[in-house]
Amino acid sequence: MLALGRLRDRVIARVGAEVVVDPAEAGRYARDDGALGPFPPGLVVRPRERAQVLELVRLCREEAVPLSPRGAGTGTVGACLADHGGVVLDLAGLGAIVDIDARSLLAEVEPGVITGDFQAAVEAMGLFYPPDPASLKKCSLGGNVATNAGGPRACKYGVTGAFVLGLDVVTGAGEAMTVGHRSIKGVTGYDLTHLLVGSEGTLAVTTGATLRLLPRPAAAFTLLASFADEAAASDAVLRCLHAGLRPAALELADRTCAKVLVESGSLAVQVPAESGALLWIEVDGDAAGLDASLRAAAERCREAGALAVEIAGDAATRDALWSVRRALSHTLRDRWPRKISEDVAVPIGKLPELCAAARAIGERFAVDTASFGHAGDGNLHVNFLYDPASAPDVEARVDAAVAELFAVTVALGGTLSGEHGIGLAKRPYLPLEQDASVRALQLALKRAWDPAGILNPGKIFP
Amino acid sequence: MLALGRLRDRVIARVGAEVVVDPAEAGRYARDDGALGPFPPGLVVRPRERAQVLELVRLCREEAVPLSPRGAGTGTVGACLADHGGVVLDLAGLGAIVDIDARSLLAEVEPGVITGDFQAAVEAMGLFYPPDPASLKKCSLGGNVATNAGGPRACKYGVTGAFVLGLDVVTGAGEAMTVGHRSIKGVTGYDLTHLLVGSEGTLAVTTGATLRLLPRPAAAFTLLASFADEAAASDAVLRCLHAGLRPAALELADRTCAKVLVESGSLAVQVPAESGALLWIEVDGDAAGLDASLRAAAERCREAGALAVEIAGDAATRDALWSVRRALSHTLRDRWPRKISEDVAVPIGKLPELCAAARAIGERFAVDTASFGHAGDGNLHVNFLYDPASAPDVEARVDAAVAELFAVTVALGGTLSGEHGIGLAKRPYLPLEQDASVRALQLALKRAWDPAGILNPGKIFP
């Protein structure tokens, strides 16, 4: 506390009072979009210029105060929370789209730019930035970089990291540096860029990014297929992938989700009442190839026993379908008092087994489950839904169910997290997947970037 | 030398005499496919089992002897050469394709598998491994991982790293570990996999890799377009990219190359005698979309002023066209006594400037140049061609031309190496692109992986 008070004074003296956020606002930094917290920070700073970030990191280093960088706070694993106390570095003030280079198909951005705003800006120029986390209207590009955020379109285009060519960062040692390149390819030295992407603010603070762009696809269609159960839907996913279709998105929703959506009447197309699983398939590209892709995708769904296949060609219906999909997490949260959302990923051939395991684990521990997500990548959001007041042992049962899900995922050759990261929430489970030598090596790398251990201490590693 | 003799005895005692390569063979380890060397190694070991790699690294560490891992030796920057003396670790003996999982679209391989053999094996199962370095009939998957090898198809599919999901490695500290995941997505901890990919054997030795596969494209066509000069050809490249075409490959050859090829009569299709630049465009995918892509690509070439556009639909003509392209490097080497081949990459919008600069630098320093390569990625092989006996100052002029090429590349926002790496050959130029802090950080990361500095000491960093 003494150190924090002194740090605050030094920040005001060296950087300026305008970067210190009013303590009355600090409450909104105590949580993210997940279940952890509250962890009220001791001090929140919101720089407006890149050079201020450098000063702030150096001051934290000198005062040995922990610093947690924060984008828009839409993460779910607590990676941006100040659980050790200390400083939250809110990067929302660095919100400039510095340059969009249509000729070289790249852009320079600051970390606080809202992902959806950036997409709109490049699309207005006939360009395309594919990464589309569900929170894209609120989340920031810097946060996407810190978590290597995914989203439905990762199925065809890859996750955020696939679009990050280079980064401007401030290391935990208080050095500003530029890593990566502006060319598409580059093997000059180690790939520091992709070591930083997904490192959850534990190695360096992002102050700028060079992002790769694509030309905007000429057209897109969305297909919504309904199935009797998840087994049939995941069979359709594998048939599409094995047939070499490269849909922009291939998203599955299980029985619980299908029931909630059918009951809500929110789906923009007609769905049979008995639907036990849904599949969103988006195809995009040249108008010429699209018809064939769409027909092929529909055919694969029918082979897998689809109850119905509806095609949304007009923009309004497509938008409506995707809005429902993006809102699914919040729709579930509105129906159950508590929701624990995991994001395990398995080799795609194991998707049916993962779907079945998620359901079986819920039944075994008597916890409602709802699974949905990026089936084309083998990445499923398995949600455990409950009312903490419903039974004295419910929290213990949920904890056991989560642990069982992770154990099954690893046994299937999968990983704890496909896109949310580890943060605080999954930290205790890391040893299930990574042995002591791999963990020790990562901590050694962290010491190289952040010798004093001030950046997000204790995150990721148990 | 004393340490090497003792190491040899210990290798025989602990691992077995059969892993020690006959000194009479050592000569073929003194060079790679580049201009550097000879650096005859003190000892060459060729393990046959993964566990032997672990033992060998540990012995080198105990004896403080440098170890240079080597794939098939087709690199061009000297990264696998024992310039510090010591041991060459030939990984050709670990040559098993352990598993091809068609359902999950992935494979487990050992590092010594020849890339072309692996492609043939997966294609026989209806699958596809896109990375296609020019040396694919000789190079190894482990070497491709070490250099993050590219190739023509990187234009659509990405370089080797885009297909590496996980690695089994032995660190310089003598620890065996598995990093990465078998799922398509994964953000559990740091991305160690892609820190290792392209690290040129300086951090760890690869003993196994989990590779991502795709279904084999239904069809492919190759188009060869000829232009009056490189400016028109690179204009066509940009028109294709800006139109959103995603050709599998988009390869340019400049006036020198075009002249050599037209004179040799080796091109499988008709090319106007006055051609001053050539463009290979390959489109692949669904038969339905292909026609449209092909027409669009041809149209973009004509807009850029193509002299002729020839389409190769049959497999024999396509193979012939690509053989000529793949042989281009050797074709040039046969015509000039000495060839220095660079592989600079620039933001794609700067491709015309790079082509022009390469020609101007050759003229300025009176050195023949030939440029060709992966134009769709902004990655050009600029070759300096000369006869060392032609003039006393020719080597000095070539050195100056190379330095000038790098300076211009960096000024255009580009990078020293798009796919060959830095190794020994480009080590002196690294400071042109990366400042002292970025270099120091990489050396700190190396110490985390290889505390005693035994793995490929002195490579990459000046």
Give one DSSP letter per residue of B242-263, joined into a string. Answer: HTT---SEEEEE-HHHHHHHHH
Quick one: pLDDT at residue A2?
A: 64
Test B430 with A199 for CB contact under 8 angstroms. no
To the nearest whole Å, the CA of B264 is away from the closest chain A CA by: 32
| Identity of the residue numbered A235 | D
**Could you say which of A178, A179, A189 has the minimum Cβ distance to residue B460?**
A189
Quick one: pLDDT at residue A1?
A: 56
Which residue from B minimizes the CA distance to A422?
A: B188
To the nearest whole Å, the CA of A392 is away from the closest chain B CA by: 32
pLDDT tops 90 at residue B259: yes
**Could you say which of B192, B203, B415 has the minimum Cβ distance to residue A186?**
B415
- Mean pLDDT to the nearest integer, B426-447: 98
- Residues of chain A contacting residue B450, judged by C-beta atoms under 8 Å apart: none
Nearest to B11 by CA among B54, B50, B61, B56: B56
To the nearest whole Å, the CA of A8 is away from the closest chain B CA by: 28
- Residues of chain B contacting residue A423, judged by C-beta atoms under 8 Å apart: none
- CA B119 to each of CA B136, B235, B308, B337: distance values in angstroms, whole numbers, following the listed order: 9, 33, 32, 33
**Could you say which of A190, A215, A417 has the minimum Cβ distance to residue B445?**
A190
pLDDT tops 90 at residue A253: yes
Strands (E), A61-199: 67-70, 87-90, 97-101, 106-109, 127-128, 164-171, 176-180
Test A188 with B416 for CB contact under 8 angstroms. yes
- Mean pLDDT to the nearest integer, A260-278: 90
To the nearest whole Å, the CA of B1 is away from the closest chain A CA by: 31
pLDDT tops 90 at residue B289: no
Test B441 with A448 for CB contact under 8 angstroms. yes
pLDDT band of residue A287 (cuts 50, 70, 90) is confident
- Mean pLDDT to the nearest integer, B5-14: 97
pLDDT tops 90 at residue B448: yes
Hey, of B106, B188, B212, which one would you mutate to test binding to chain A, going by the most A CBs within 10 A of its CB?
B188
**Could you say which of A289, A444, A461 has the minimum Cβ distance to residue B289?**
A289
Nearest to B371 by CA among B395, B389, B354, B348: B354
pLDDT tops 90 at residue A250: yes
**pLDDT tens readout for residues A230-244:** 999 999 999 999 999
Residue A386: count other Cβ atoms within 10 Å of its Cβ: 22
Test A191 with B189 for CB contact under 8 angstroms. no
Quick one: pLDDT at residue B182?
A: 97
Percent of chain A with pLDDT over 70: 100
Q: Which SS3 state, helix, strand or coil, does residue B376 take?
A: helix
To the nearest whole Å, the CA of B413 is away from the closest chain A CA by: 6
Pairing type for strands A204-212 and B97-101 reads: unpaired
pLDDT tops 60 at residue B147: yes
Test B186 with A415 for CB contact under 8 angstroms. yes
- Residues of chain A contacting residue B373, judged by C-beta atoms under 8 Å apart: none
Which residue from A minimizes the CA distance to B461?
A: A189
Spatial distance between the Cα atoms of B130 and B397, rounded to a whole number of angstroms: 38
Quick one: pLDDT at residue A106?
A: 98
Which residue from A minimizes the CA distance to B414?
A: A183
- Mean pLDDT to the nearest integer, A53-59: 98
pLDDT band of residue A329 (cuts 50, 70, 90) is confident
| Identity of the residue numbered B141 | L
**pLDDT tens readout for residues B49-65:** 999 999 999 999 999 99
Quick one: pLDDT at residue B2?
A: 64
**Could you say which of A188, A194, A444 has the minimum Cβ distance to residue B433?**
A188
Test A188 with B435 for CB contact under 8 angstroms. no
Q: Which SS3 state, helix, strand or coil, does residue B125 take?
A: coil
Test B414 with A182 for CB contact under 8 angstroms. yes
Q: Which SS3 state, helix, strand or coil, does residue A311 take?
A: strand
- Residues of chain B contacting residue A433, judged by C-beta atoms under 8 Å apart: 188
Test A192 with B349 for CB contact under 8 angstroms. no
- Residues of chain B contacting residue A177, judged by C-beta atoms under 8 Å apart: 435, 437-438, 441
- Residues of chain A contacting residue B178, judged by C-beta atoms under 8 Å apart: 438
- CA B302 to each of CA B238, B257, B295: distance values in angstroms, whole numbers, following the listed order: 13, 21, 11
CA B43 to centroid of chain Cα atoms: 26
* Sign of the CA dihedral with A80 first, then A82, A87, and A92 last: positive
To the nearest whole Å, the CA of B2 is away from the closest chain A CA by: 32
**Could you say which of B186, B189, B349 has the minimum Cβ distance to residue A460?**
B189
- Mean pLDDT to the nearest integer, B303-309: 95
Token readout for A345 is 């990923």
**Could you say which of A188, A244, A444 has the minimum Cβ distance to residue B215?**
A244
**pLDDT tens readout for residues B158-191:** 999 999 999 999 999 999 999 999 999 999 999 9
To the nearest whole Å, the CA of B204 is away from the closest chain A CA by: 12
Quick one: pLDDT at residue A198?
A: 98
- Residues of chain B contacting residue A437, judged by C-beta atoms under 8 Å apart: 175, 177
* Average model confidence (pLDDT) across chain B: 95
Hey, of A148, A187, A412, which one would you mutate to test binding to chain B, going by the most B CBs within 10 A of its CB?
A187
- Residues of chain B contacting residue A420, judged by C-beta atoms under 8 Å apart: 187
Test A187 with B421 for CB contact under 8 angstroms. yes
pLDDT band of residue B399 (cuts 50, 70, 90) is very high
Eight-state DSSP code of residue B343: B
Test A449 with B430 for CB contact under 8 angstroms. no
pLDDT tops 60 at residue B218: yes
Quick one: pLDDT at residue B287?
A: 75
**Omega prior to A38 cis, within 30 of 0:** yes
Backbone φ/ψ region at A38: left (φ over 0), alpha (ψ -120 to 50), beta: beta
pLDDT tops 90 at residue A265: no
Is pLDDT larger for residue B334 or for residue A375? A375
Count of alpha carbons within 13 angstroms of residue B1, beta-carbon side: 0
- Residues of chain A contacting residue B237, judged by C-beta atoms under 8 Å apart: none
Residue whose structure tokens are 């077995």? B16
Quick one: pLDDT at residue B266?
A: 85
φ, ψ dihedrals at B261, nearest 5°: -70, -40
To the nearest whole Å, the CA of B291 is away from the closest chain A CA by: 9
Quick one: pLDDT at residue B288?
A: 72
Give the best-scoring range by mean pLDDT among A215-224, A309-318, B19-28, B87-96.
Answer: B87-96
pLDDT band of residue A3 (cuts 50, 70, 90) is confident
**Could you say which of A147, A181, A347 has the minimum Cβ distance to residue B104?**
A347
* Average model confidence (pLDDT) across chain A: 95
Quick one: pLDDT at residue B1?
A: 56
